[in-house]
Structures are given as structure tokens and as C-alpha cells.
Chain A
Amino acid sequence: MSSLADKISTVVIVMMENRSFDHMLGHLKYEGLMPDVDGLDKDLAKYQNLYKGGIYLPFAAQDHTLASDVPHEFDYVDIQLAKSNVTGNFSMNGFVEAYAKFTNTEPVQQPDSMAFFKAQTVPITNFLARNFTVCDRWHASLPTSTQPNRTMAFCGSSHIFNTSTGPRLITSDDPLFDWLDSAKVRWRVYHDGLSFFSLYTSAWKHLFTDKFRDFENYFHDMQVEPIDSGPQLIIVEPSYNDAPHIGPDHPNDNHPPLAIGWGEDFIRRVYQAATVDPIRWSKTMLIHYYDEHGGFYDHVPPPPIPYETRGNPSHQFGSLGVRVPGIIASPYVQTGSVCHELFDHSSVLQLLAELFTPGKPYSAEVDQRRRQGINSLSSVLIDKPRTEVPKVPSQPIPVQSELGAGVRLRPANDLQASFELAVKRLKEADPIGFGKKYPDLFQWKAAVDEERGGVPT
């Protein structure tokens, strides 16, 4: 049996935003494409949600810009999980109630929280699923929103438990870059727009270095860069819907209310770049997953694995979060296979430790997750590699578009305000470095200063 390092020399991580497993991949079972996947049965009545005496079923949705975001802060997730005091189980039937409360509307049949996509609407996600491995027991680390889950994913622990706090830079949690440097791992971030790591002050020392490159360089770098001097870990970041935008840059992270087509095209480009060099691809593992469920329905109750955030105040979570889509693409996975093992975001950090510091866990807290039953992603890998490289569909993906929207309006939520605060502080800290790294946001900041007198502080 070959070792992990014999199989994998390059790990590519791409984390998208705010969609549940059933929302993106439930169709694999519903349409009979991959019956072994724990997706949506044809009989949708078994997934009914309740609200004020009414019944609401999942429904196949067309792709469009939603009228609003869908609730996913921790208090709304509590409602969605609907823990029963009669059975002690999560009923998973509160997604409509949370949506009605969040939007202050009275849904009658098809609230957005119950939507799911069929294969034709998510052709690239469907392609990856059917050609590689679907992980149908991958849960968000925490039953809460974006920032705590991304912090768990890239720091291995979290001081924070929510996102709705007002503008906030995260000073108490350190992303994995120092760990990678101490393990002498060559790493790089390709960011399509403002990096999410701009919200972590401990990562600022890296932001304007050559280790953070614009996404447009990704394909070319993979094509020409020698493998033995190129990055061993690559984090590919989409353009975040909540981040500032100017010019033709358009968000593609799949965060509602964004239409899904932008993200589908982004994932296509990520896959094309990851596979452009067949030698590099022969030992590559592409990990495509989501930070949290975004408020969309999923039918699988999260396991009761607790976690207490470390900040002041701390917060005690009693379970993992809702299931998220997780797909592993690699020559070392079987075509169209399903992995039913339990994963959360620490599974990625467990894998990195196995690969780059064998015998030494990423951290005590990540190792604690392993002892609680959460597996390393290395368990999806097979021993004998495939030689064919599936060709991604080239079909056009229609999307809606608008330009110039991000300058006039003040932030509509706290994550938007946090991104704007990061831009302001980074520009103040190193105006030359910021202007070189983010020339478009340099212009965006000037436009915002003129249009609305600055950003939140």
C-alpha cells in the first residue's frame, strides 16, 4: 500500500459560500443519477417542513438572483434544526419558519429556503460529482454562519460564534499560513477579488506578498511552473458577494442572493487549471466544499458533536452544522463514487497534517475532532490512480449581471461592513502594497469616499 505522500503532492482547496448538500447535490438521487448518494428521494413529502400549521416541500428551482439572503446565523440555525422535546432528535423541519421570520413574509408554497437545483442548473457541480467522489456526510463545523465556519476551516478552532456583530476584523484566530511555513510547506492563495483572509489581521503580513496572487494567474502558473518548486498547497478563493466590487469583477462565491451560474463557471475554471498539467494532476487532490449551508434545507440531522468557542463570551454548540456539498476530485478517487464517512472542515486540516507533518496532528483541537469521530479526508483516496482526465463541459452558462452596484450603497450586512473595514485598514497600513495588489479596490475606495464619504469604521 502506498503512502499518502506517494499519492498526493499538491492539494487544492476551494471553499464556496452558503449552500446545503441537498440544495446542490440532492438531485443526484432525486434524478436517479447516483442512487447511493444520500440526497433527495423522489417522494419529497418525506422532507416536509412546518410553518404555522402548513406543510412545505423541497422544490426544483431555476437559477436566478434571489429576492434576499437566506437566514443562517446561529439563532436561525437553531430554528432550522428544530430539536424536538418529544423525540430528542433534530427534526430538520424549521427551515421555512426561520425564512419567514428572517424575511418577515408569510410563505405559501415555495420559500427559497426549500429550493434545490437539478443537474441541468448546476452542470459543473454535477460533472464533478459524477466523475469523482461525493462526500455525503460532510457537515459544516458549527451550526452557525460564515465567519465562525471559515475560521474553523482555516484556523482549526474559533474564538467567534457569529457573523452579525457589526464591522469586525478577526484578531484572535490565526489562519494556517504560519503552520504551513513552520512545516516548510510551499503554499499559495489565488484570490478572485478581495481575499477572505483580509479579515484576519495575523494574515496581513502575507496579503501583499507573491504568495497571494490574483486568480487570473492560476491557470498559467499551473501550466508553466515546475512542480518541484511550485506550491504544495493551493487555496483558491472565489470573488465574495459581500466584498467590495467595481468594474467588471463580479462575485461568484454562490452566496445568496447571487445566482448560481457565476459560481458554476468559476468552479469550471478552477478544475481546468488544476488539470492543465497532467503530471501535476496525477498527484493532485482538489477539495471543493462549502463553508456552511446558507439557510437552505438539508434532510440529514447533524451529529451531536459539541464545540465551545474560545472567545469572551464563549458559546456552546451542541452539534456540527448542517451538511454541505463536498466533492473530492483526484486521480486517486473512483469515478462517480460516494463516501459516507463523517467529515467536517477539520477533515481538511487533518489531511494536511498527515501529508506534511506525518505523525504530528495539526493542533490539539483538530486532533480532538478526530477523536470525536470526524475523519481525515485521506480516507476517500484509493491506492491505484486513474489515468483518464475527465473533460469538463464547455457549455455556456447564462447569468444575470449588473455593474457599478457596490459603490453607491452602504453595506447591507455586517460581513459586507467587515470587508469594507478591511479595505480601509489595509490601505491605511500599506497604501503602496494595497494599490499594487488590489488596484481595482484602490479605485473602489476612492469612488466610495467620493460617493458616500467613506466606509464604516
Chain B
Amino acid sequence: MGQRGCVMALLFLIAAGCQVGCGPTIRTFTISPQILCEGESAVIRWDASGDTEVTVTPESPPASPATCAARGREASAYTLVARRGGKEVERELEVLQLHDGGAEPIAFGTNAVEAQAVVASGEKNQELWSNRVSVATVAACAGREIQVKHANRLATLPASGEPSSAFDGTALAGPWELRSPMSAAEQNNPRVRPTELEVLATFRCQKGTP
């Protein structure tokens, strides 16, 4: 399947009851989980009419020199094609293979100003990351001091980007709140305030049953 260290199990349904002359349809196409630990397997399910085929295309890693870029991951696009009567329809899903020692950015758009600080908060995608991926360290990005609240823990990360183990063992997914003090210029001019705050978390991936 083109996925190193990963065995994919396939389940599928071909829907019956299609009227004469109808084209192909894809009612559902799911992969669970979409993010895999090394050696882990996933299940692909689809409910479609027509002749079906799944193809896998490895994606190039993001071309980014940023120090806070994601690392230790390989992505592939899984495309389901259903064909019937000269017509075809497609659905595409991406799958991410994680490697131990990898890192994942956690970033949210700034959505509030409180006590001379900008605040960015939101939920790291639970559907993708589940509770199997846990945090090892967290470091501030973009040369900003960032106060982080996550999983009932609180820590201030220095602007130098030095990693902190304050969130060791917590789930990567779930709510995060990032807060960063504003410079004098940012306090005086809203237009130069940051549009997002970002930290970089190294993680451990715990192999489990999807």
C-alpha cells in the first residue's frame, strides 16, 4: 500500500439496488484512524456503487525551513474511484504516519486581548489525533514568550524556544490556550499584533487498536 510499517485492512460494501442507467456513487469513504503510529494498522471502509479502486499517492513533505515545522511524519493520499457507465467519481482522504521523536505544531488564530496579552485558543483536532498521541515536550515558536494552559496544567515557555516538559504525558489532542504578552508597538497598533500563536510539541505515539 506504499505505507512503511503499516498494514491496512480493507472492508468495503458495494451497494445494491441501483436503477438502470444511474451513475457511480460514493456514499461513504472513511479511514480509521487517519493518523497512525509506527507499525499500526487502519481500516478503510467505503459504501459505493460501480467498479471501485483505491489508489495511494505519497505526498511530498512540506517545504519549510521553519524551526517550528512538523517533523517525523509521512503523508499519503488515498483516493477511492468509483466507475460506472463511462462516469467516475472520486473521494480522497489523507493518512499520516508518525515516527517516534516527531514534532507537531499547535497553532490557533488569536481571538482575544486580555491584560496586555494576546490570546489564542482552540481544540487540537480530536478526530485525527485521538488520545493515543501524547506530549513529551512543548516549546514556544516565533521568538515569543508564551504561557500555555492545557490539560489542567500551566507553564510559561521562554521566547528562546527552549523545550519544557511541563505537559509530559498529556494528550496532544484537546483544548489548548496560548497567551503571549504584547510589545508596546502591538499594544498601540492592533494591526501589527500577531494573527496566530504557535508552540511545537514533541510527541510519543502509543500503538493501539483503531
Contact = CB atoms under 8 A, between A and B. Distances in A.
Interface residues of B, number: 55
By CB atoms of chain A within 10 A, which of B62, B69, B94, B105 has the most? B62
B196 A44 contact: no
Nearest to A86: B110
By CB atoms of chain B within 10 A, which of A48, A50, A86, A105 has the most? A86
Interface string B171-210: 0000010000000000000111111101000000000000
Nearest to B59: A110
B181 to A, nearest CB: 14
Contacts of A452: 21
Contacts of A86: 110-113, 118, 190, 193-195
A67 B90 contact: yes
B95 A108 contact: yes
A409 B87 contact: yes
A57 B105 CA distance: 12
Given A44-B64, A50-B108, A55-B107, A91 B125 contact: no
A43 B64 contact: yes
A212 B1 CA distance: 52
Contact of A109 (B66, B94, B195): B94
A108 B87 contact: no
A110 B62 CA distance: 9
A59 B60 CA distance: 9
B149 interface: no
Given A87-B190, A89-B191, A89-B195, A50 B107 contact: yes
Given A53-B125, A86-B113, A405-B86, A109 B96 contact: yes
A106 B86 CA distance: 30
A184 interface: no
A89 B196 CA distance: 12
B155 to A, nearest CB: 17
By CB atoms of chain B within 10 A, which of A50, A82, A89 has the most? A50
Q: Please report whether the interface of chain A is mostly helix, strand, loop or mixed according to DSSP.
A: loop
B93 interface: yes
B136 interface: no
B90 A65 contact: yes
Contacts of B86: 402-405
A80 to B, nearest CB: 13
B23 A45 contact: no
B196 A54 contact: no
Contact of B62 (A44, A67, A403): A44
B34 interface: yes
Contact of B106 (A44, A53, A59, A404): A53
B158 interface: no
Contacts of A52: 122-125, 128
A88 B69 contact: no
Interface in B61-94: 62-66, 69-70, 73, 75, 77, 79, 85-88, 90-94
Contacts of B195: 84, 86-87, 89, 91, 93
B154 interface: no
Contacts of B64: 43-45, 57
B62 A106 contact: no
A266 B57 CA distance: 29
B203 to A, nearest CB: 13
Closest 10 CB pairs of A and B: A53-B124, A52-B125, A45-B66, A67-B92, A109-B75, A67-B90, A108-B94, A45-B64, A86-B110, A91-B195
25 contacts: A43-B66, A45-B64, A48-B107, A50-B107, A51-B125, A53-B123, A53-B124, A67-B91, A68-B91, A86-B113, A86-B190, A87-B193, A87-B195, A89-B191, A105-B93, A108-B95, A109-B94, A110-B77, A110-B94, A402-B86, A402-B87, A405-B86, A409-B87, A451-B21, A452-B21
